[in-house]
């Protein structure tokens, strides 16, 4: 039993006594405590991910800020190593042999995540034990199209993933074969996390901002549907598609919650689709990172976002992850501000006979 189940109830489209909040990349470089811990353990990032006690300790750091959920510390590229595409971070992700030919795709080897990623349930177990039911624990994975872009480029795809675009255009059948292989792996990976006890999962389509609506519908959406259908409804399923404004296509994925950016009118999205999905978002992460942003700026942004969410079926979050230069005091202020915006008490009508 969770002592604080606000995020889970909001994910189920319930009205909550206050709007819950957690932040993408809440355990990361903006936090001095994170940087100090990374310096102390002195491990390359890819080794920190697969060292359960380190990953668990980092996962728990944001609890002190007052967030309503913990997402475990990992990377979307984690499950690619046992598949045959190991990334290292120097400091950004690097793959020595990018995946660009049919033989490269065929060489990717399906694996059992319970053995190939055995450190993941160990990390989740440590975090769950430490939380002792105080907060929900979130799992996550990268979406297939995003993973494919990283693998084909051999690095962060940026705004111009030229090799990925070439495969999509010149050999769409090969690209789809890669996506299908990644979709099945991702579903198995998320199922492992659910079995390990996470309370919800999020699928990150982090390159949705560099593809068109048509490309999203043709290549990304079928993988989302495939993954969510395989997972079933054991826990709430959140879909994040960076800066994607095709909310109708996101709804068609079968996700329970849509994490939308500041480019989406949250109130309008809720009006159209709030009877089918919950929403997460959508405070501007660049605004929060700006050192010139004042406490009153943050308060107003939070107030507007929560008003659009209506205290029902809404989880306060950012449009994307916390940026590394975000002042920690801005993060604290956002969370504090979220607690100051409460729903109006329900009005009651007394009938005098």
Phi then psi for residue 72, to 5 deg, are -75, 150
Amino acid 346: pLDDT: 53
pLDDT attached to residue 345: 64
Which domains are delineated in the chain?
Answer: 35-282 (3.20.20.210)
Extract the runs of DSSP E, i.e. beta strands, from 267-321. 278-280, 314-315
Q: How confident is the model at residue 343 (pLDDT cuts 50, 70, 90)?
A: confident
101-108 contacts at long range (C-beta below 8 A, 24 or more positions apart): 102/171, 102/174, 105/174, 105/177, 105/178, 105/181, 108/83, 108/84, 108/178, 108/181
Q: Is the pLDDT of residue 151 over 70?
A: yes
The string of pLDDT tens digits covering residues 294-326 is 999 999 999 999 999 999 999 999 999 999 999
Percentage above 90 pLDDT, the chain:
95
Give the alpha-carbon dihedral of 332, 236, 191, 51, to 10 degrees: 10
Q: Beta strand 257-259 with 70-71: parallel, antiparallel or unpaired?
A: unpaired
Instruction: Calculate Rg over the CA atoms of the chain.
Output: 20
Mean of all residue pLDDT scores within the chain: 96
Q: How far apart are CA 33 and CA 62, in angstroms?
A: 9
Residues listed for the chain: 353
Q: Does residue 348 carry a pLDDT above 50? A: no
3-state SS class at 270:
helix
Instruction: Band the pLDDT of 206: cuts 50, 70, 90.
Output: very high
- More confident call, 113 vs 350: 113
**Cα gap 52→37, rounded to integer Å:** 14
Q: Indicate if the pLDDT at residue 288 is higher than 70.
A: yes
Nearest alpha-carbon partner for 204 in 248, 267, 250: 250
Task: Give the tens place of pLDDT for each residue, 241-284.
Answer: 999 999 999 999 999 999 999 999 999 999 999 999 999 999 99
């Amino acid at each position: 039993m969770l002592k604080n189940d606000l995020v889970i109830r909001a994910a189920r489209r319930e009205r909550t006594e206050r709007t819950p909040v957690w932040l993408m990349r809440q355990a990361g470089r903006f936090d001095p405590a994170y940087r100090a811990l990374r310096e102390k353990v002195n491990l390359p990032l890819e080794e920190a991910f697969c060292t359960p006690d380190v990953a668990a300790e980092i996962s728990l750091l944001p609890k002190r800020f007052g967030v309503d959920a913990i997402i475990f510390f990992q990377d979307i590229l984690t499950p690619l190593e046992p598949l045959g595409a190991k990334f290292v971070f120097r400091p950004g992700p690097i793959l020595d042999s990018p995946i660009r030919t049919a033989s490269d795709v065929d060489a990717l080897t399906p694996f059992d995540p319970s053995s190939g990623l055995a450190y993941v349930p160990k990390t989740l177990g440590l975090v769950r034990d430490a939380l002792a039911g105080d907060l929900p624990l979130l799992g996550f994975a990268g979406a297939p199209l995003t993973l494919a872009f990283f693998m084909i480029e051999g690095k962060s795809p940026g705004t111009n993933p030229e090799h990925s675009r070439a495969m999509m255009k010149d050999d769409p059948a090969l690209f789809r074969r890669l996506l299908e292989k990644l979709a099945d792996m991702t579903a198995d990976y998320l199922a492992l996390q659910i079995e390990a006890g996470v309370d919800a999962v999020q699928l990150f389509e982090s390159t949705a901002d560099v593809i068109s609506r048509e490309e999203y519908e043709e290549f990304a959406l079928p993988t989302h549907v495939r993954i969510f259908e395989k997972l079933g409804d054991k826990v709430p399923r959140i879909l994040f598609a960076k800066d994607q404004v095709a909310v109708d296509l996101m709804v068609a994925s079968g996700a329970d919650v849509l994490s939308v950016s500041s480019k989406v009118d949250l109130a309008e999205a809720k009006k159209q689709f709030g009877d089918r999905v919950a929403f997460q978002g959508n405070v501007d992460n660049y605004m929060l990172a700006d050192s010139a942003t004042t406490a009153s700026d943050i308060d107003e942004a939070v107030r507007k976002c929560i008003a659009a969410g209506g205290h029902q079926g809404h989880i306060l979050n950012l449009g994307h992850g916390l940026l590394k230069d975000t002042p920690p005091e801005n993060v604290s202020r956002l969370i504090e501000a979220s607690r100051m915006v409460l729903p109006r008490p329900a009005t009651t009508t007394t009938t005098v006979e």
